[in-house]
Chain A
Amino acid sequence: MTNPRRSEENDQVGSEATEGRSRSTQLPIVNQSGSSRRTALKIAGAALGLVAFGRAVAPMWSIPENISIAEFLQRHYKELTDEDKQEIFQRLASETKTRYGADVTIVDHRPIPGVKFAYAINLSKCNGNGKCMEACHRENNHHRGTNQSYIRVLEMTKGSLDMEHGTSTYDHPTPQPDKYYMPVQCQQCDNPPCVTVCPVEATWKEEDGIVVVDYNWCIGCRYCEAACPYHARRFNWEAVEIPAAEINPEQGYLSNRIRPQGTMEKCHFCLHRTRQGRLPACLEACPTGARVFGDINDPESSINYVLKNKRVFVLKEELGTRPSFFYFFD
């Protein structure tokens, strides 16, 4: 029986995990005070039964390759002091330099006081051209191998609002007369199921409404992926490969820095841009002008104009997730 708990004890790191990899024995045993990661896993493991649990966390077995000791010793984001952060960001930047050959700066962007973000998409305008997916891919340093993107543009049959019946694989000129197009990304729910299920609190909602992930804290169990009704979370199955010249060097710790393999990620409303007053990359890239973004606390914002003047709806309202993401038709 393989032990999936990569950190429990040195000698028990699963054999599958170490196959062909060199890091079998270097993993330190740490007894972090206040740490809940391992305990959470233990409890979850007991509740589930080890076989089921092993399957659930299977992706973890491929992680250790790119985990450094320093990363392993790192405390939870919320417990970090500013100095801790500086140290960590420098370490991550230098790791990026070593692994990818790119000079990057990693910054901890904090919410703008008083601002709460919301997004809206005009489905009468969107024509499914997919430029938003591509912009996201480039802006957020996604793995080139899979064209990963936080956005999925669905081709929908007119008359249906059920995103489960949409397809993202269409390959023809758009818009087709009997179709409409619906981009789906993280809806930044006010009642986010993904946050509730995370066993280690590696994902949480910040004051400006953005649900973030600490990629260094995430254990890759993928509960959140299963919990998200919008299929908005993405798992890094493969180690991220990007040519140095294509790496976006303006990075945020909780946003577009290069994610380690085996961690979960999701749309963060480009917080490294939006918390500096800039527009998200997908919005700027939209050739049809279908996307509207802004501060819902500002009565004069574009987003409030939409909420007041258009008939907006949210996806899967019945689930009570209370998205900060709206859709409308003219």
Chain B
Amino acid sequence: MFLSGIVQLITPQNSAAREVSLPSRSPPTVKSPVNHATRSGISTLTTLTTAALVAVALVTAWHVSWMWDARLATEGSGSSHQSGATSALPRQERRDDHRSGDRHGPVFPIEIRHPQGDLGILVSHPHDETAVRVACATCHATRQPDLSNRATADLTEFHQMTVVDHGSISCLSCHHPEDYGAFRLADGQQLAYRDVMQLCAQCHSQQKRDYDHGVHGGMIGHWDRQFGPQYKHNCIDCHAPHQPKFPAMQATFKPQDRFLAPPRNSRPHSPGH
């Protein structure tokens, strides 16, 4: 096979994550329980920069805010949210009664980060070792899907480094056997990479419901969208799909607390507790 010289597998970088500079999760290949450094979370600085950067984009795009509202509402229901829809604005009417002045415009959007581009893997080029992005179809277009490959342990040829620790569900309860660049919903429907949250939502509806109400997954920006937009992370920004457990962290900032004992000098601790 032409890629037989692969020496290294790297997780695909979500290019979109860079663009809006929302924090990216650590690559699933990092298995250390303590990876607070790589998985930097949402640092205030990034936050501010992000807000500044994205604000510019959003001012131009804010007339589509109704669309976004509608879109958030439909996200859970499985309908495609690529296209816009006009929507009534119940929220805004409610606001009007206690906000005087000329803030009668529509509310700003809720923007969820979605992965962009195609699902693929980064492999190092056999000759010069530069990273090359390879679409799943490169190999799978010509391979019969093997339904008996349910877990990492079943793999003998490839992907053996793909560690999956996510209940006991099979690879193909998420990946679509006819198009490995897409996902498979329980009813067999194909789901674009971009819409991966719907995949999570079908098995974790409670979390998705909380998420839709701003009570799971956090947010950045405005609590009151009459003033400005709100940004949210994708499920996969916090949960690596193959190992969704939220990783351990280590607090790096300690106030000197008069009330409780003073902090010990923060010496790097061995994670093997």
Contact = CB atoms under 8 A, between A and B. Distances in A.
Interface of A: 112-115, 122, 125, 127-131, 133-135, 137-139, 146-149, 152-153, 167-176, 231, 237, 274, 276-279, 281, 283-295, 298, 300-302, 305-306, 309-310
A316 B216 CA distance: 26
A283 B219 contact: yes
21 contacts: A115-B98, A122-B215, A129-B250, A130-B252, A130-B253, A134-B253, A147-B253, A169-B254, A169-B260, A171-B251, A174-B250, A277-B223, A278-B222, A279-B219, A279-B221, A285-B42, A286-B42, A287-B238, A288-B246, A302-B213, A305-B214
A131 B260 contact: no
B273 to A, nearest CB: 6
B251 to A, nearest CB: 4
A173 B250 contact: yes
A114 B98 contact: yes
Contacts, number: 177
Interface string B235-268: 0001000000010111111111111111110110
Contacts of A170: 251
Interface class of chain B by DSSP: loop
A277 B227 contact: yes
A309 B39 CA distance: 31
Contacts of A138: 44
A137 B253 contact: yes
A126 B149 CA distance: 36
A284 B42 contact: yes
B255 A149 contact: yes
B249 A289 contact: no
B238 A289 contact: yes
Given A278-B227, A278-B228, A127 B249 contact: yes
B220 A131 contact: no
Nearest to A148: B255
Contacts of A125: 216
A290 B222 CA distance: 16
A114 B42 contact: no
Contact of A113 (B100, B214, B215): B100
B115 interface: no
Contacts of A137: 253, 255
B47 A284 contact: yes
A130 B248 contact: no
Interface residues of B, number: 59
B175 interface: no
B260 to A, nearest CB: 5
B33 interface: yes
A134 B46 CA distance: 14
B159 interface: no
Given A231-B259, A287-B249, A289-B219, 14 more contacts: A112-B98, A114-B97, A129-B250, A139-B44, A146-B255, A147-B255, A149-B253, A171-B269, A172-B250, A173-B249, A278-B221, A285-B44, A287-B218, A305-B210
B215 A127 contact: no
Contacts of B266: 171
A135 B42 CA distance: 10
B34 A173 contact: yes
A169 B264 contact: yes
Nearest to A235: B258
Nearest to A154: B260
A293 B44 CA distance: 17
Nearest to A282: B44
B41 interface: yes
B121 to A, nearest CB: 26
